[in-house]
């Protein structure tokens, strides 16, 4: 038997972090996706225990300022895409306001560290969301385009095809066929 599950990674991470921070009796506030404000000075022993307990699950405490900023940029983009339904915002303004750095600085650090632009990363994340909506909801392409603030369905379809090599409808058909085949596997 195969179960298909849907999960919220953001909620999973927050819950996971809370459990591990509480277990070590660390006073904290979760300030955003991938950010934890520690309210006390941690001893080296507590810091190591926390780091070791998180590493087992693929979570790393970042110490490199550039990599930390890149993660903050990625998290801010994800939050913007999730929370920005029907409210068009200029990406550069949103990131500058959210992270308190000039967009030029953010763009430079991001490109230097990831070898891609913030704009390209945002397109890839939007395409991932389109895939998720196509597979897990009954939304039409028009509704998805509206939800993700595309100027038109044609624009969404063009970016999707350029990124995946498939039209959104072809992708959706392939995924439906795949879902229908899986239950027959024994």
Supply the CATH number for residue 162's domain.
Answer: 1.10.10.60
Looking at the predicted structure, is the pLDDT value of residue 185 above 50?
Answer: no
In terms of domains, do 110 and 126 share one? no
Q: What is residue 122's predicted lDDT score, i.e. its pLDDT?
A: 94
Residues 130 and 177 in one domain: yes
Burial class (CB in 10 A: 0-12, 13-18, 19+), 4: exposed
Q: What is the pTM of this model?
A: 0.69
Residue 44 DSSP SS3: helix
Instruction: Note whether 70 and 55 are same-domain residues.
Output: no
pLDDT in tens, 127-164: 999 999 998 889 999 999 988 888 899 999 999 999 99
Number of structural domains found in the chain: 3
55/71 same-domain check:
no
Do 50 and 102 share a domain, yes or no?
A: no
152 shares a domain with 111: no
Residue 99 near residue 92, CB atoms below 8 Å? no
Tally the C-alpha atoms within 13 A of residue 177's C-alpha that lie toward its C-beta.
6
Q: Are residues 96 and 144 in the same domain?
A: no
How many other C-beta atoms can be found within 10 angstroms of the C-beta atom of residue 110? 23
- The angle at the Cα of 33, spanning 161 to 53, to the nearest 5 degrees, equals 115
CA angle in degrees (0–180, nearest 5) for 75-70-159 = 65
In a domain, 105, yes or no: yes
> CA 37, 116, 118 angle in degrees (round to 5)?
55
Using the structure block, give the residue that is written with the tokens 């895409």.
81
Same domain as 136, residue 95? no
**Residue after which a domain boundary falls, among 61, 78, 94:** 61
CB 120 within 8 A of CB 91: no
109 and 132 share one domain: no
Whether residue 140 is contained in a domain is answered as yes
Report the percent of the chain where pLDDT is more than 70.
Answer: 91
105 pLDDT band, cuts 50/70/90, is very high
C-alpha to C-alpha distance for 43 and 24, rounded to whole angstroms: 11
Q: Give a yes or no: residue 83 inside a domain.
A: yes
In a shared domain, residues 135 and 176: yes
What pLDDT, on the 0 to 100 scale, is given for residue 54?
Answer: 85
**Residue 23 covered by a domain:** yes
What pLDDT shows up at residue 186?
Answer: 44
Range of the domain at 18: 9-61
Q: Residue 87 — pLDDT band, cuts 50, 70, 90? A: low
The answer to whether residues 80 and 136 belong to one domain is no
CA 123/CA 126 separation, integer angstroms: 5
Average predicted confidence (pLDDT) for the chain: 86
In terms of Cβ atoms closer than 10 Å to its own Cβ (0-12, 13-18, 19+), residue 41 is exposed
Same domain, 82 and 127: no
């Amino acid at each position: 038997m195969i179960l298909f599950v849907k999960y919220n990674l953001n909620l999973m991470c927050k819950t996971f972090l809370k459990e591990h921070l509480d277990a070590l009796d660390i006073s904290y506030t979760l300030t955003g996706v991938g950010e934890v404000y520690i309210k006390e000075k941690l001893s080296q022993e507590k810091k190591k225990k926390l780091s070791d307990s998180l590493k087992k699950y693929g979570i790393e405490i970042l110490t490199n300022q550039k990599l930390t900023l890149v993660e903050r940029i990625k998290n801010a983009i994800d939050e913007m895409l999730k929370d920005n339904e029907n409210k068009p915002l200029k990406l550069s303004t949103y990131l500058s306001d959210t992270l308190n750095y000039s967009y030029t600085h953010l763009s430079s650090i991001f490109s230097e560290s990831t070898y891609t632009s913030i704009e390209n990363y945002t397109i890839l994340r939007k395409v991932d969301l389109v895939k998720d909506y196509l597979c897990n909801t009954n939304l039409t392409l028009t509704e998805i385009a509206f939800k993700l603030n595309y100027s038109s369905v044609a624009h969404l379809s063009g970016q999707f095809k350029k990124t995946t090599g498939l039209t959104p409808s072809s992708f959706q058909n392939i995924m439906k066929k795949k879902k229908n085949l899986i239950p027959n596997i024994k």
